Structure formats: C-alpha cells, structure tokens
Amino acid sequence: MKLISFAASGRNSYGVLVGDGIVDLGRQLGERFPTLRAAIAGGVLDHATTEYTSAAPDIALSRVTLLPPITDPDKIICAGRNYRAHAAEAGGPPPENPQVFLRLVNTLVAHNQPMVCPKISGDFDYEGELALVIGKPGRHIAKSAALSHVFGYTCFNDGSIREIQFKHSIAAGKNFYATGGFGPWIVTADEIPDPTRLHLVTRLNGNQVQHTGIDDLIFDIPTLISYCSDWTPLIAGDVISTGTPEGVGFARKPPLWMKPGDVVEVEIDGRLGVLRNPITAES
C-alpha cells in the first residue's frame, strides 16, 4: 500500500494511492485522525489494505500537490557515515557506533517541490537515502523485534551545506530551511519484507551519481531502530533516515555541488518511486 499526504482545493489531506488516483482517507477519517501520522498512531491502517486499495479513487493524483508523507513528525533522525564505501570516501575508519543527528521539520520538502540553496554558501550536496517511518512505538527495542516497529519506507535526500557542516557544525549544515527532500510516498512494510535487498540510485540532471545496494549499510535497520530507542522513545510517525552511499559531491575532484536550475532524483527500486526535486536559490 502506498500512502501520501497532499493538498487539494485549499485543504490538506492524506490517502492511499490507487493507480493514478487517491482514496482520500483524510476526508473519511479526518475528524478523528487529521494527519497520516495520527492515522498510523491510531492503528486504523494496520489491517485495511484490501478495503482501501480496492476502493474507487476520490481524486486524480495529477490534481493534487504532494506534501511530505509525514507532515508533522515528532522526530527526524538521520544516520551519518553508515555505508562502508561512503565512510571510506569520507576518510577515516568506519564508525564503531551509529553516528546520528536530528533534522528540523522545516527542512523537509515534498516530491517536486524545490530544495533551496542558501545565500551564504554554494556547497550544496546531495545525499540519497532510504528512510523508514515508525508505526509501533517503543523504547529499548530489541534488534530481533525492530522490523515489527516499521510502518513503511520512503526516499529521502539529506541535502547538506558542506561548508557549514565541516567548518561550523553538523547540526547547522544539515538543518538549512527546505534542504531535505522527502517522499514521494510511503510504501508499507508488508510490501518490503527485506529492505536490504533494495537498491538506491541518485541522479543529478539525469546523470547517475550514486548507486548501491542497501546491504552495504554498516549499521542495519534493526540496529538503528534499537540504538535510537535506547536514548529516546520512538513513536508513530518518527522518521529514521539510514545514511547515504558513496558518490557524494564533496568527495569528488573537483567537488560536485547542486546549483539553482539543477534537478536531483533519488530512486529506490521502483516500488518506493522517484523523489524528484528542482534546486532553487534562496530568495
């Protein structure tokens, strides 16, 4: 099942993607569950696959503007240097423990919405990533049970201002406004029983710049979930982005930065779709 958040006719909603149309769950469930995050937390989507995917769409996909799949996450946790080949290109040994940082909600942009290159630096780098959305809350989650806490998977682009990240702080470099692509939709975990078999491709202006299997992760998805749940309670709608593979712009000679007018795409195995974002200059 593919779930999206969207805006249409002056209202925000969420629903199930069926072909080229949307079953508008926000219209059906919005009084009790106003957002997709609320619906996930309420458990109303857990056993409704057939009911919703066999329903007639309420609105065409072409008539809506997509929003980030989870518009109001409580937490956005990102893993750094979590692919073996990327750790090597970044220099130094692989990390001994997961290296994580947090993103702000106002950094998120949806599919087809612009990622903003800031005024103060042009060192705007792409990072195609697989992200997961928590469905079942938990604390001190065992690795053996971790995948049962995943609601679904989506694409992420952890856009990074490298000059600020390297010379000032990772928190600043990773949290410029409208620099994190997120979407286009969430594919529920029942359709992806083994995420390590997925493959990720990032393209800049149609040219492939990253390509790897998710099985190159240093710390796999159960490890990341368990680790994060040890220091913070995970709740429904939390987003964990699992890190980027090799091929990032700063590691190239000369560096390859995203510029206004560029288009960046993150694709994960068709099923998760293509997250596409134009790059624009800060006004």
Domains and CATH numbers, the chain: 2-66 (no CATH), 76-281 (3.90.850.10)
Percent of the chain with pLDDT over 90: 90
Q: In the structure, what pLDDT confidence band is assigned to residue 240 with cuts at 50, 70 and 90?
A: very high
> Given phi > 0 = left and psi -120 to 50 = alpha, else beta, which region is 199?
beta
pLDDT of residue 90: 74
pLDDT-derived band of residue 51, with 50, 70 and 90 as boundaries?
confident
pLDDT of residue 102: 98
Give mean pLDDT, residues 166-171: 94
CB 238 within 8 A of CB 134: yes
Q: What is the average pLDDT value for the chain, to the nearest integer?
A: 95
- Predicted confidence (pLDDT) at residue 171 exceeds the cutoff of 80: yes
pLDDT at 226 over 90: yes
pLDDT at position 265 over 80: yes
Residues contacting residue 146 through CB under 8 Å, at least 6 positions apart: 221, 222, 223, 225, 226
The answer to whether the peptide bond before residue 184 is cis (omega within 30 degrees of 0) is yes
Burial of 242 (0-12, 13-18, 19+ CB in 10 A): buried
116's CB contacts (< 8 A; 6+ apart) are 109, 176, 177, 178, 179, 279, 280, 281, 282
The mean-pLDDT minimum among 44-53, 54-63, 230-239 falls in 44-53
pLDDT for 129-148, tens place per residue?
A: 999 999 999 999 999 999 99
Give the least confident one: 40-49, 119-128, 250-259: 40-49
pLDDT at 271: 85
Give the per-residue pLDDT at 53: 81
Read off the pTM.
Answer: 0.96
pLDDT of 54: 82
Cis peptide before 254 (omega within 30 of 0): yes
Is there a contact between 266 and 154 (Cβ–Cβ < 8 Å)? no
Written as six digits, the tokens of 229 are 């749940």
pLDDT of 266-282, one tens digit each? 999 978 999 999 999 99
Annotate the chain with DSSP letters as a single string: -EEEEEEETTEEEEEEEETTEEEEHHHHHTTT--SHHHHHHHTTTTT-HHHHHTSPPSEEGGGSEEE-SSSS-S-EEEEES-BHHHHHHHSSPPPSS-EEEEE-GGGEE-TTSPEEEPTT---EE--EEEEEEE-S-BSS--GGGGGGGEEEEEEEEE-EEHHHHHHT-HHHHT--TT-EEEEEEEEEGGG-S-GGG-EEEEEETTEEEEEEEGGGBSS-HHHHHHHHHHHS-B-TT-EEE----S--GGGSSS-----TT-EEEEEETTTT-EEEEEEEE--
pLDDT tens-digit readout, 192-214: 999 999 999 999 999 999 999 99
* pLDDT computed for residue 52 by the predictor: 83
| pLDDT for residue 118 | 97
